[in-house]
Amino acid sequence: MRRQETVTHAVGQTIKARYEPVERLALFAEPHLSQNLHLHGLVKMSDFGEEILGHCRRDMQSYLSDKFGRSQAAFPRGRNAVANYVAKYCVKTNGYYEFW
């Protein structure tokens, strides 16, 4: 669990420092079936316009992939999708989550 906390905090601090439009951030760390640690996350960004947000999404995916391995960044499909996603990871017993 300590490793999950350390990695989650490091990734969160990296994202908050690199992307000015980030308002809120939620990260969830859990062991994969292979026991390798992986993260899931949600980012709420300020409305800087579609072009800037699209650039941030592409850059975030590229940057996180280069720094931490396979990554995917996508826009949520609505409020219900976000609520379901957060609830899914908050109730898991083998994970760690952190909100900024």
d(CA 38, CA 22): 21
> Nearest Cα to 86, choosing from 28, 45, 1?
28
User: For 9-25, what is the mean pLDDT?
Assistant: 86
Query: Model confidence at 32, in pLDDT bands (50, 70, 90)?
Result: confident
33-60 pLDDT, tens digit per residue, is: 887 788 888 888 887 788 888 888 888 8
Task: Return the half-sphere exposure (C-beta side, CA atoms, 13 A cut-off) of residue 48.
Answer: 15
Q: Is 87 helix (H, G, I), strand (E, B) or coil?
A: helix
Domain boundaries, the chain: 2-99
3-state secondary structure of 29: strand
| 2-99 is a CATH 3.30.70 domain | no
Please state, in angstroms and rounded to a whole number, the distance separating the CA atoms of residues 72 and 92. Answer: 21
Question: 87, 97 in Cβ contact below 8 A?
Answer: no
What is the distance between the alpha carbons of residues 51 and 37, in angstroms, rounded to a whole number?
32
